[in-house]
Structure 1
Amino acid sequence: MRVRRARWLSVAAAILLTGLCTPALGAAASSPPPATTAPPTTVSAPTQDGPGADAARTVEGMTTAEQAASVVMGHIPSTDAAALTAYMSQGLGGFILMGANIPATSAELETLTAALVVDPSLPPLIAVDQEGGLVSRLPADDYASSRTLKGLPVAATSAAFSARGALVAQSGIDVDFGTIADVTADPSSFIYGRALGTDPQGAAERVSAATTAQESFVASTLKHFPGHGAAPGDSHHAIPTTDESLEQWRASDALPFIAGVDAGASLLMFGHLAYTAVDAAPASLSARWHEIARDELGFRGVIVTDDLGMLQSSGIPEYRDPVANAVAALAAGNDLVLMVAGSTPETAGQMVAGIVAAVESGTLSAERLADAATRVLALRLRLSATSADWTLCPTCEPVS
């Protein structure tokens, strides 16, 4: 609990420091939830030595199995603290909270997220899909969502996502899979009600604002790269496809992702959708799309898959094996593999064993696994540092 509460003290103070408590338009005018302890007026962060270098050194000393576990984000539908602690004792890099994990009260949720932390010196990534509106796991989130934000000034997006980020952090959660960078003007699209804009430029402005706001509190995530807007269909049940060219993508669907990357998003979630003119494979399994994200967009953070269980749900025979999907995703360039749909308490361990076997057989290079593990560990170290190492700044004055 100490690590998670420390973050809330820092982020609550950050609200005062940056003036983010100022009421804004619509539902976003609500103030972020109060801290459980009175926060200091302002805070300052100590200089960090560089989590990337520390992560690289740590990964060098890890076994292949430890590296494999560190790139798996698992899930079990439980609110039992002992069961969650036992599950995370496998050394998994992260856990995603779904509706079945959310207890009745915020205090119970803080206890639950604390149970996921086996080693307080290196907490796992604890994630949630907290977009607001249609996709909202935390019941206390009554801030404005994309349904209204796309029609309001950009400042409303900043206010709403500041409040949302603070709420997520207060709960002991440090990763929000919450920023939709897909763009569509088609009301029949399954992503329309979740998108922050109906045109690339409008979406880009709001994605940038949402990212900047959330990064003050949690690690924000852009999704679903390279964008659902051009690919009709719901990836929870199929592999949506489009014949949009790379040039067309660069001029349209790419813009919100570029804006989010430039704003400092910590994670980029790859979707299970195919731009067949670029690669016939789903982007989540496409080395070409990972090259584009790294080389063209300049993204240097953690790349995470959308739920690999969705690939199984597509009904395509070649995607029926979750372990094979995880190996293929890592080989393509993902750093963190996420498994929710169809996951059992044994699934994460099976994925870890499969990744180890793939390295031993040469199907997955040891270098690629180490690279992925290093990126994930660097993010964990950075979030742990910003949680636990903020110090009071008694001489600072709040910004009016």
Structure 2
Amino acid sequence: MIVAGLVIGALAVAAPAAASTPTPTPTSDAPTGTVRVVAADPADTQAAASALVAGMSLREKAAAVVMGTIPTTDAGTLRQYMTTTGIGGFILMGSNVPATEGQLRALTAALTTDPALPPLIAIDEEGGDVTRLPWDTYPSSVTLKDQPAADSEEAFAGRGALVLRAGVGVNFGIIADVTADPSMFIFRRALGTTPDAGVARVQAAVTGESDDALSTLKHFPGHGSAPGDSHLGIPTTGMSKATWAATDALPFEAGIKAGAPVLMFGHLRFTSVDSAPASLSATWHKIARDELGFTGLAITDDLGMLEASGESALQDPVANAVTAVAAGNDMVLEIMFSNADTATRIVDGLVAAVGSGALPAQRLDEAATRVTRLRLELAAEGRGLMPCADCTPAG
């Protein structure tokens, strides 16, 4: 629920405000060089996000669309990383998860340099084979795929609350891929062994998480029909567009209709649709939006996986990021080869790409606005900002 009278914090906004858009209002507690924006209509986060992005520099926009990570549980180091890079998101990996929930909540608080415009803090908390939180004992797809859909709703309701309690606003946790083949890489992680089973369980999982962490559907357009491990290569299938639309597409469509706000694009080739991996394909982004009706935030799977594929054309992480945003991703994710300098290099590359025309400025504006809108919604709804009795303030 949107909090009435919310004061939204952001970077400096210079654009004049119309009567129906937020009005920039400096406040005494804002850090130097910032203003706080009071939304005329607190529910209109789209107008607020547009106003904020209009006032951002090109570099701030580029930073907003990057989600990075560094391997540490030191709160000071993490805070410095977010402050220095200015990036819009951080993904928690196993190397970022301390021993207790309280310690983790203190860590996520350190990542949030402005609570009124929190970063998108995300985690891969699927449960089962992909569990970052040792205290997550809720059932996972390993067993949920054989249980009634209601069990998926219950499990993800608990998991979403667990993630949110840790100060994490986004869960990359719902596998919408479909396969009945136990030899497939994604089999144990998939919620459905048939399209219909996937529809029921994915929809239930999104419904379960809806009051807590923001749900993410992955790996679009579907890993279940593309053999291989996308951490090691680019899984490829010749499945036709028509067959896909009648099978693998259905759980994604159901999750979108259920309200999942984030869609992760996989490094998967459906050669009958596009020779490029879906994560770098404008065609697949158009399909997601125009045919499946997705209006939320599109994010890549880890771009480092493209480098790990060994394909010579995919060895430049900056070029991959530029191509990904130009194709329609609103956020790029870098994990596998990420270090303290990676995010800055990607931001530099996006800025240069706008300057050269390789990345249309309008596309970057659109991406930055979608990211900013979701960040404002997190702030408005208090997701990830819940009190923690045993957390110490970061400082």
Tell me the TM-score normalised to structure 1 length: 0.85
Question: What are the within-5 Å matches in structure 2 for residues 228-247 of structure 1?
Answer: 228-247=223-242
| In 2, Cα distance between equivalents of 1:300 and 1:388 | 20
Q: Is 1:292 aligned with 2:283?
A: no
Question: Which amino acid in structure 2 is aligned with residue 141 of structure 1?
Answer: D
Match of 2:105 among 110, 114, 118: 110
Matches within 5 A, 1:36-115: 48-89=42-83, 90-115=85-110
Question: What is the identity, as a one-letter code, of the residue corresponding to 2:287?
Answer: I
Aligned counterparts of 1:85 and 1:112: Cα–Cα separation in 2: 9
Aligned match of 1:339: 334
1:136-215 alignment to 2 at 5 Å? 136-215=131-210
Shift of residue 48, structure 1, vs aligned partner: 3.6
> What residue number does 2:251 align with?
256
Matches within 5 A, 1:214-363: 214-363=209-358
CA distance in 2, matches of 1:380, 1:281: 30
Cα distance in structure 1, aligned partners of 2:105 and 2:292: 36
CA distance in 1, matches of 2:108, 2:98: 11
By how many angstroms is 1:324 displaced? Answer: 0.5
Secondary structure at the aligned position of 2:112 is classed as coil
Matched letter for residue 165 of structure 2: Q
Q: CA deviation at 1:49?
A: 2.7
| Cα deviations by residue, 1:230-278 (Å, 9 ceiling, x for unpaired) | 1101100000000001000000000000000000001000000000000
Gaps (5+ residues) in structure 1? Answer: 1-6, 8-46, 392-400
Partner residue in 2 for 1:128: 123
Any conservation in 1 of the 2:167–2:383 contact (CA below 8 Å)? no
| Aligned pairs, number | 346
TM-fit CA distance, 1:197: 1.0
Greater RCO (Cα-Cα under 8 Å, separation 6 or more):
1
Which amino acid letter does the alignment assign opposite residue 211 of structure 1?
V
Secondary structure at 2:147 match in 1 = coil
Give the letter for the 2:174 counterpart: T
Query: What does 1:378-389 align with in structure 2 at a 5 Å threshold?
Result: 378-387=373-382
Residues 262-303 of structure 1: per-residue CA shift (max 9 Å, x gap): 000010000000000000000000000000000000100000
Give the deviation of 1:390 after TM superposition: 11
Distance, in Å, in 2 between the alignment partners of 1:83 and 1:101 is 11
Quote the offset at 1:74 in angstroms. Answer: 0.5
Tell me the amino acid that sits aligned with residue 86 of structure 1. Answer: Q
**Partner SS state of residue 130, structure 1:** coil
Distance 1:52 1:107, change over 3 A: same
**Residue 344 of structure 1: CA displacement?**
0.8
Say whether the 8 Å CA contact 2:378–2:384 is kept in structure 1.
no
SS in 1 for 2:206: helix
| Whole-Å separation in 2 of the counterparts to 1:111 and 1:189 | 38
Query: TM-score of the superposition, structure 2-length normalised?
Result: 0.86
Distance 1:280 1:388, change over 3 A: closer
Whichever residue aligns with residue 80 of structure 1, its letter is D
Structure 1 pair 247/119, CA: closer, same or farther in 2 (3 Å)?
Answer: same
Instruction: Give the Cα separation in 2 of the matches to 1:242 and 1:389.
Output: 39
CA, structure 1 residues 76+332, in 2 after alignment: closer, same or farther (shift >3 Å)? same
1:221 Cα deviation from its structure 2 partner: 0.1
Percent sequence identity over aligned pairs: 59
Pick aligned residue for 2:369 from 374, 392, 399:
374
How far apart are the structure 2 equivalents of 1:110 and 1:68? 28
Please state whether the residue corresponding to 1:96 is helix, strand or coil.
strand
Q: CA separation in 2, counterparts of 1:88 and 1:322?
A: 20
- In structure 2, the CA distance between the partners of 1:121 and 1:332, relative to structure 1 (3 Å rule), is same
Query: How many angstroms does 1:121 deviate by?
Result: 1.4
Unaligned runs of 5+ in 2: 2-40, 387-395
Matched position secondary structure for 2:382: helix
> Which structure features the higher share of helix residues?
1
Question: In structure 2, how many angstroms separate the alpha carbons of the residues matched to 1:321 and 1:201?
Answer: 39
Runs of 4+ that moved beyond 6 A: 388-391
Q: How much has 1:366 moved relative to structure 2?
A: 0.3
Partners of 2:213 and 2:383 within 8 A in 1: no
Distance 2:379 2:220 in 1: 27
> 2:104, 2:224 → 1: CA distance?
34
State the SS of the aligned residue for 2:122: strand
